[in-house]
Amino acid sequence: MSKHGGTQPSAPRHRHALCALLAMLVAAPAVTESLQSESSIRRAAERYVAARNPWKNQEHRIEAGRLDSRSRLPRCDGALKAFLPARAQIKRRTTVGVRCSGSAGWTVYIPVNISAYANALVAIRPLPAGSVLSPHDVQVVKREVSAMGYGYISNLERDGGYRVSRAIPQGAVISPNMVESAVMIKRGQSVRIMARSGAVGVTMAGVATSKASLGERITVRNVNSGRVVEGIVRSGETVEIIL
């Protein structure tokens, strides 16, 4: 009995509790070392996506998600092999499989997110359909292009410029489905010459001697006669001559 009236725990009980605590502390690292680390699985998935994603030549960031907290995978004595499930493609959000090729023989799936950034053209004013894009209509802004399902346009120089195919609101990122090539026919391109007089029409082979957009005038050379005539661009391969 103590002077406060309580009882002191016996020495054997103290020793048993201490031994149990020491056993837990010693066993914890051993258990941890027998399991595959989550970081190694995430790195395997990230490396796989880094080598194959469609934005690998652009500024991008790849981050694998977390495994289920209940996952306790045996340490793999072979190489970790990442793969895509059947018919899957690498997208902004992709599920990647990681397989242990050693004796443990487990497979786990982990989500991987990609954020890719690039310069894209953004409309600085409402752009009506039929107008030709100019540098005064757009500004270059860095955007997360991996989130753009319809793609984007980075400059006005490709394909000889662009014509707006449907109205574009101010502030919108300009995507390929909003525009068409401003230059419908290029110099040296083979074309079909349609000569029309009233209800009678004749079609001949020709070669464009200049470039022009839809509805513009263009000069073409008749392949058979060598004669150069002027017509109006009706499509990407047709020039109509009004007789």
DSSP letter (8 states) at residue 187: T
Instruction: Give the number of other Cβ atoms within 10 Å of residue 131's Cβ.
Output: 14
Residue 121, CB-side half-sphere exposure with 13 Å CA sphere:
26
Q: What is the pLDDT of residue 236?
A: 81
**Tokens (6 digits) for 54:** 């469609």
Residue closest to 77 by CA, chosen among 40, 102, 106, 113: 102
Instruction: Indicate the pTM of the whole model.
Output: 0.61
> No. of H helices and E strands in the chain?
2, 12
* Distance in angstroms (rounded) separating the CA atoms of residues 99 and 105: 7
Q: Report the sign of the C-alpha dihedral through residues 173, 175, 180, 186, in that order.
A: positive
Interval 23-66: pLDDT, tens: 554 444 444 578 999 999 999 999 999 999 999 999 999 999 99
Q: How far apart are CA 109 and CA 71, in angstroms?
A: 11
Contact status, residue 180 vs residue 162, Cβ threshold 8 Å: yes
- With a cut of 70, which residues of the chain have pLDDT below it? 1-32, 159-160, 198-199, 243
Q: Are strands 238-242 and 190-197 parallel, antiparallel or unpaired?
A: parallel
pLDDT attached to residue 29 = 47
SS3 188: coil
Q: What is the pLDDT of residue 211?
A: 86
